[in-house]
Structure 1
Amino acid sequence: MQIKLLAIGKTDHQQLQMLIDDYQKRLGFYIKFDFEIIPDLKKVKNLSEERQKQKEGELILAKLNNTDVLILLDENGQHYDSVGFSEYLQKHMNSGIKQLVFVIGGPYGFSQDVYDKANGKIALSKMTFSHQMIRLFMIEQLYRAFTILRNEPYHHR
């Protein structure tokens, strides 16, 4: 199995990008991982929230293969602790899927078409974080999950 993380828009903060790069490199020791940025839409001032979600949704769906399992990072998704999330990943790896795709949406969330295509939703917290920070948190949690599965000391129980 491989994991892909899709996100709308580039990371503006250099320090944040350095941490993302570090965890992405670490994660590569455990699994094939791809972090793909979908460029921000242009001229969004002229678009309604719904139209912006629809356009971003089209870009997200264009990045998927028919066999991908799509999981949305969504405030109304399932909550896991780190051990539970590692078990969630293990179940997907055991199922024989080719690619697990996590998606961080744009500022207004996801279009209905993306929700309809999704195989599940995960919430990282009940709190709200910037889309920039969520990238780091998600990649770090993926890394943490693999260290848990390998019984390595990164995650202290």
Structure 2
Amino acid sequence: MTIKLLAIGKTDSKSLLRLIHEYEGRLKHYVKFELEIIPDIKNTKKLSTIQQKEKEGEAILKRLNPTDTPILLDENGKQFSSVDFSNFLQKKMNAGSKRLVLIIGGPYGFSDAMYDMAKGKISLSKMTFSHQMVRLFVVEQLYRAFTILRNEPYHHR
């Protein structure tokens, strides 16, 4: 299985980028991992919130394959412990998912079309985090999940 993290907008912080790349490197020992950043939508001042979410949704949908399992990172999604998240990933691998795509939307969330096509929603917390920090948290939790599945000491139970 391949895991792809798809996100809207670049990360400006060099410190966050360094940490994201560190966990990307660690993840490659366990699973094929891809990170794709979709450029911010231009001229958003002229768009309503709904129009911006629709344009972002269109950009995301263009990058998905029909066989993908798209999961939205959404504040109203299911919350997991790290162990439960590792079990979720194991189930996806056991089910034969070719590519699990975790999607971080733009600042206003997702369009209705995105919610309609998604195969699930995950929330990292009831708290709100910047989209840039969410990328780091997701990559770290993916790494942690694989160390849990391999019974390695990174995650202390």
TM-score, reference length from structure 2: 0.99
Question: Match of 1:134?
Answer: 134
Instruction: Provide the C-alpha distance between the structure 2 equivalents of 1:41 and 1:81, rounded to a whole number of angstroms.
Output: 33
* 1:96 to partner: Cα distance: 0.6
* 1:97 to partner: Cα distance: 1.2
Question: Match of 2:87?
Answer: 87
Residues 1:114 and 2:120 are matched in the alignment: no
* 1:27 to partner: Cα distance: 0.4
Secondary structure class of the residue paired with 1:76: strand
Q: Deviations over 1:109-142 (max 9, x none)?
A: 0000011000000000010000010000000000
Q: Deviations over 1:69-117 (max 9, x none)?
A: 0100000000100000000000000001100000000000000001100
Question: Match of 1:72?
Answer: 72
* 1:22 to partner: Cα distance: 0.2
- 2:45 counterpart letter in structure 1: K
Task: Provide the alpha-carbon RMSD of the alignment.
Answer: 0.4
Q: Deviations over 1:35-82 (max 9, x none)?
A: 000000111111100000000000000000000001000000001000
* Shift >6 Å, 4+ stretches: none
Question: Match of 1:28?
Answer: 28
Instruction: Provide the C-alpha distance between the structure 1 equivalents of 2:31 and 2:62, rounded to a whole number of angstroms.
Output: 23
Provide the identity percentage: 68
| Gap regions ≥5 residues in structure 2 | none
Q: Deviations over 1:9-39 (max 9, x none)?
A: 0100001000000000100110000000000
Instruction: Provide the C-alpha distance between the structure 1 equivalents of 2:111 and 2:155, rounded to a whole number of angstroms.
Output: 35
Matched residue count: 157
| Gap regions ≥5 residues in structure 1 | none
Secondary structure class of the residue paired with 2:10: coil
Question: Match of 1:146?
Answer: 146
Instruction: Provide the C-alpha distance between the structure 1 equivalents of 2:4 and 2:90, rounded to a whole number of angstroms.
Output: 16
